Amino acid sequence: MANDEQTAAAETSAVAFVGRSKIDWTGYAFVAAFAVPFLLFNVAPVLFGIYVGFTDWAIIGEPNWIGLDNYREALHDTWFKQAFVNVLLYALLVVPGVVVLGLSFALFVNRSWPLSGLARTILFTPNVVSATVIGLVWVWVLDTQFGLLNHYLGWFGIGPIPWLTSANWSLIGVSIASIWWDLGLGFVLFLAALQDVPKDLYEAASIDGAGFIRQQFAITLPHIRPTISMVVTLQIISTMRIFSQVYVMTNGGPAGSSASVIFTIYQSAIVRNMLGYASACSVLLFLAVLAVTLLQRLVLREVAHA
């Protein structure tokens, strides 16, 4: 009897009445456990960063309001423009590479070939390894003199390629490492989508005489188009935010040929103590990612309805 009274008292204490409405504060307490940290450590820093973008703050001292000067400087900054060009070139290399290779490997594994189970593990493993480890491994693989890739290319009579030390090759070298690192996520998403395609369609197509290639274009690609759109979107965002591979493998060089936008922001904020300018660049990057993503989604939607 005493336990029932204590339970009733606890429930009453957790409930408040405002007018004729009953408020269950227990629910608000559970929501606050997530909402408060989210607001403090996610929303508040974003809003503060936007404010800092309108100042010349350098960590030390009080922020001094300068309006749009940081944005004007960023739009006229040669290095910042080059960084944007670099990430667009990264996207042209990495996004098709991940989509084509990820889908190809998913098709191979989905047909239950021998060792397909081992292939799943091998293909997804790089995605769970830190970018720092990936970068260090590929620095060794792409080394001009002693790299594994140049060693095997030498078997075909191809001379050493300066993958990471030449302005003409550094961006390609980093892109190779990025494709290998990002391949696992695209592979898993494509494999999941392929397993949802009705098998009866392939059987009917085989009876009608359609070969493997014809089946992929007539059945597979139309059914997994939403997944392709999602993978492309995720890869565009990931590529425009590339940093760790650049920092570890080339440090943005040579001569800024592999520097990404976030690497340039890092240099401005941490190395040069230009927090206001770096914040303005971050806002411009956000707007660019948003614009490219919306444009890409619109294009794919139009293609889907065509």
- pLDDT tens-digit series, residues 236-265: 888 988 999 999 999 998 888 999 999 999
pLDDT in tens, 216-243: 888 888 889 889 888 988 898 889 889 9
Distance of CA 262 to the CA centre of its chain: 13
Place of tokens 């095997």: 152
pLDDT (0 to 100) of residue 21? 60
Q: Is pLDDT larger for residue 113 or for residue 6?
A: 113
Structure tokens at 121: 């593990």
Three-state SS for 15?
Answer: strand
| Neighbouring residues of 268: CB distance < 8 A, sequence distance ≥ 6 | 274, 277, 278, 281
Is residue 96's pLDDT more than 90?
Answer: yes
| CATH no. for 70-305 | 1.10.3720.10
Torsion angle (degrees, nearest 10) of CA 267, 82, 134, 153: -140
Is residue 1's pLDDT more than 80?
Answer: no
Domain ranges of the chain: 2-52, 70-305
Is residue 8's pLDDT more than 60?
Answer: no
pLDDT in tens, 157-211: 888 999 999 999 999 999 999 999 999 889 999 999 998 888 888 888 888 888 8
DSSP class of residue 160?
P
Q: How far apart are CA 183 and CA 179, in angstroms?
A: 6
Quick check: 58 and 275 in contact, CB under 8 A?
yes
